[in-house]
Amino acid sequence: MALNTNSIDQMQVVPTGGPLGAEIQGLDLTHALPEDTVQRLHQALLTHCVLLFRGQEISDEEQVRFTNYFGQAVEHVRKQMPRPVKEIFFVSNVQKDGQPIGALGNDDIPFHSDLSYLRRPGTLSIIYAVELPSTGGATKWCNCYAAYEALNPDLKARLKGLRAVHRHHVESQNPPEMIDHPVVCTHPETGRKALYVGPHLTRYIVGFSEAESSELLRRLFDHMSQERFVWTHDWQVNDLVIWDNRCTMHRRERFPPTERRIMKRTQIFNDEIPYE
């Protein structure tokens, strides 16, 4: 691909046809992006919540450079084996010398927003597919704007002012204090409201009894997992996907433990604490 193919005129935004997501065509991420192209990508991400780039044979350094167009790539809070580019976090079930090279294994991972168990959660995540199993491992994204907007007025009124505790199931990953966020958050750039709960990391609603909290969260989880709010991505090698954790939840489907899957992730944190 020629060096000038990253001009804004050659960039195409092709919606998935689902409730969120768009494929970006015409860009080669092995080369730098001009400022106007970056600005259009940023706007496309705000509009579509998830962006897919296919056929990108990129290095770790190039993935970090792409990430930095949207903020500052940082090392993941979870420690991993030494690696050449510390901002790269391996999501993998592969082991080397009896030790996992990455995290998260091969099981199903329910809907969640990355790092919501922190006071300042992850805002944007980027994953690059290096090696894939023959079946399984698809990722589903939920449009949490649409899920919130489809709630009936009475339920919207009930959610106003509510906060929920988010907690990682591995206790050592959690900060010492309990972290809670609004059940409905306002996106700081779009001003739109979105549900901010998911079955993987949201534990309970503050001030509710255990039974009342479980009933309401289950109702919200069932609502947001409806297909009308969800787009499924079946990965191909050299796919790169960036998504906005402030207005989406995502989940991963299980894949066979005997097959290898290697994904490289980068992440961005902003200064905002989620707010209603």
Distance between CA atoms of residues 232 and 163, nearest Å: 29
Of 48, 76, 114, 252, which is the active-site residue?
A: 114
What count of other Cβ atoms lies within 10 Å of the Cβ of residue 14?
Answer: 13
26: alpha, beta or left? (left if phi > 0; alpha if psi -120 to 50): left
Within 8 A by CB and 6+ apart from 157, the residues are none
Of 48, 76, 112, 252, which is the active-site residue?
A: 112
Of 181, 233, 250, 252, which is the active-site residue?
A: 250
Contact by Cβ (8 Å): 90, 262:
yes
Task: Provide the β-strand partners of residue 142.
Answer: 230, 249
Which amino acid, one-letter code, is at 7? S
The verdict on whether 108 is a catalytic residue reads: no
The verdict on whether 40 is a catalytic residue reads: no
DSSP assignment, residue 261?
A: -
The verdict on whether 114 is a catalytic residue reads: yes
Contact by Cβ (8 Å): 253, 136:
yes
Buried b (16+ CB within 10 A) or exposed e, 16-35: bebbbbbbbebbbbeeebee
DSSP assignment, residue 272?
A: P
The verdict on whether 219 is a catalytic residue reads: no
Of 168, 246, 251, 265, which is the active-site residue?
A: 265
Distance between CA atoms of residues 69 and 50, nearest Å: 15
Rounded to 5 degrees, what angle do the CA atoms 233, 236, 240 make?
A: 75
Contact by Cβ (8 Å): 164, 206:
yes
Active-site residue set: 112, 114, 250, 265
